[in-house]
Amino acid sequence: MSGIKDSLAPLLEPFKPLKQLAFLFTSSCNLRCVYCPQSLHPENHDASPWLIRHILDFVRDTGIQKVTLGFYGDTLCYKGWETYTTELLDMGVDLNLCSNFNHRLSENEILTLSRFKEIQYSIDTIDRDVFKAIRPPADIRTILHNLVLINSKAICNNTPKPKTIWNCTLTNKVTSGLEALVGSAIHLGVSRIVFNELVRFQEASGGVKSIFELEGTEFIEALEHLEKAQDLATDAGIEIKFSLQYWDKLVEIKKEMEREQTSGDSVTKLNRVNPLQAIQGTADFHAERTESNLLPNQTRMCPEPWSNIFISAEGDIFSCCVRGQSLGRITQNHGIGEILRNASYRDLRRQLLTGNVTDKSCKECPLLPAGDIEPFVQSIRQGYQTIPKG
Ligand SMILES: C[S@@+](CC[C@H](N)C(=O)[O-])C[C@H]1O[C@@H](n2cnc3c(N)ncnc32)[C@H](O)[C@@H]1O
Ligand code: SF4
């Protein structure tokens, strides 16, 4: 590998085992959410039985402890998903699912889900009409009923309840209902709420706005609702997370811009970063420019190309949920293990280890901070040490 110090060469290998494998049973979906590029992909695809078998064998043979389902499409649309996931559960793997849950679930599906470690329900609001308008044709009552059935099944079987997480995509349509959303989350035993900043896919504008696109009193009121909702959640012990790691800073910048607006000397300090090629399409995010660019001696503090793997229903492998360039497609001749060690993967790891980051997605990634190279290399070295099971 050109230009890399000998001492770094072993660090071009993936962690063994990987910390997490994410895959899709299908890229099809039963909903057409206004902000999601799903509807723009008519070429929906189910994973082949051969591909699923290859993934399950890889998980078992390499001892992966955590499998995540559903970063795209909706897992519960795939007939027979519960047979495969039961196999993973019986291997002792921790399962995490993100779904819209707008499905009529069978007894066996409910039982299988009650054994999952974590379940992410995509719930932006508990207002029935607003919910249906944003995530047509979903009915919030079906989703909440499923949540109750799954947790009740775990209680009746005396097994641990799945950790319940709600994902709320923050748009102007839901801000006034945020306190009610948190109130319901408290009532239903939710452990964490993740607020997703609206990612703007060029192909899917959806008629909704990010909080950062609101002006004047509209912005101030939206922020007040969010802050009250956060206080309610924190008092009740619910963990709050934001998809953008520098969310608080963006809010401060936006507040300052609003103050300057009133004095007449406003300067735009908040931008959308140049569009990135994400897995689902071309997307842009809000960011402060200096946050997204790397300074000399800095790198993106991202362990994903070592620790995680994302596999589409077609068998394409991605390093994370942002970078949309396939690092290889799984075939009968090219398995996951081989792709994890190919030239493209090694080059991506080399870029992050040396700080010579030319990959546009890694350079401008809105999810992880920039940081000094040396501590990052140190953290990767430590990542090879596996934590013993049990
Ligand atoms: C793409 S979905 C896939 C899983 C499943 N279909 C669901 O909706 O939960 C994963 C998460 O991304 C969120 N999402 C979709 N489009 C988004 C966007 N443009 N900006 C931010 N989050 C988005 C969804 O609300 C959901 O919580
Ligand atoms: S956000 Fe999820 S449920 Fe909605 S259209 Fe996209 S994939 Fe389907």
DSSP H stretches of helix in 210-270: 216-235, 247-263
pTM tops 0.85: yes
CB atoms within 10 A of CB 220: 12
Among 27, 44, 98, residue to substitute to test ligand 1 (most atoms within 8 Å of Cβ): 98
Asked if residue 70 has its Cβ within 6 Å of ligand 1, the reply is yes
Asked if residue 198 has its Cβ within 6 Å of ligand 1, the reply is yes
CB atoms within 10 A of CB 199: 24
- At 226 the pLDDT is 97
Task: Output phi, psi for 376, to 5 deg.
Answer: -65, -45
Asked if residue 97 has its Cβ within 6 Å of ligand 1, the reply is no
- At 270 the pLDDT is 64
What is the rounded average pLDDT of the residues 281-299?
74
Q: Does 366 score more than 90 pLDDT?
A: no
Q: Which ligand is nearest to the CA of 74?
A: 1
- Per-residue pLDDT tens digits for 99-141: 999 999 999 999 999 999 999 999 999 999 999 999 999 999 9
Q: Which ligand is nearest to the CA of 99?
A: 1
Mean pLDDT over each residue of the chain, to the nearest integer = 91
What is the rounded average pLDDT of the residues 219-236?
97
The label of the residue with tokens 């979906």 reads 29
The CA 169 to ligand 1 mean position distance, Å, reads 7
- Per-residue pLDDT tens digits for 235-282: 999 999 998 878 888 898 888 888 877 666 555 556 665 577 777 777
Sign, CA torsion 105/106/111/116: negative
Q: Does 83 score more than 70 pLDDT?
A: yes
3-state class (DSSP) for residue 355: coil
Integer-rounded Cα radius of gyration of the chain: 21
The CA 321 to ligand 2 mean position distance, Å, reads 15
The label of the residue with tokens 């063994």 reads 16
Asked if residue 279 has its Cβ within 6 Å of ligand 1, the reply is no
Q: Nearest 5 degrees, angle CA 155-CA 157-CA 161?
A: 40
Q: Nearest 5 degrees, angle CA 186-CA 191-CA 195?
A: 90
Is residue 22 within 8 Å of 69, Cβ to Cβ?
Answer: yes
- Per-residue pLDDT tens digits for 15-62: 999 999 999 999 999 999 999 987 666 667 999 999 999 999 999 999
- At 369 the pLDDT is 86
The CA 36 to ligand 1 mean position distance, Å, reads 7
Q: How many Cα atoms are found within 13 Å in the side-chain-facing hemisphere of 353?
A: 25
- At 164 the pLDDT is 98
